[in-house]
Amino acid sequence: MGIDDLVQRIFEERAVFKEQAANLVTLSRPLIALYAVNHWIDDPLKLSAAIGVAFATDGLDGYLAKKFGKTDLGAAIDILADRALEFIVAFAYAEKGMIPSFIPYFF
């Protein structure tokens, strides 16, 4: 059973969820980042893993959008979610002194 078969089995009977699956994954991206910086800012390994997962959702939502259909809303929130993730990470790292404080303002 490949990934396509698994995804199809999960979503085949949930038409409404299937139409919005990519959007839901997209919206999870900044939420994962917020959770990570609030709970693991002092643990670089956990923080890096969570931020990696958040960035990986960008590929997952793209896959789901191609599989089940793209929406105009999805295209707009994908860009916003990407920028939100970058801002959250950059400002959290600057606040913690992990990067120079002026760097987030160049995003």
Mean pLDDT of 7-29: 77
Q: Are 68 and 24 in contact (CB under 8 A)?
A: no
* Confidence class for position 13, pLDDT limits 50, 70, 90: low
Burial of 25: CB neighbours in 10 Å, binned 0-12, 13-18, 19+? buried
Burial of 38: CB neighbours in 10 Å, binned 0-12, 13-18, 19+? exposed
Q: What percent of the chain has pLDDT over 70?
A: 89
* Residue 10: predicted pLDDT: 66
pLDDT digits (tens, 9 = 90+) for 49-72: 999 999 999 999 999 998 888 888
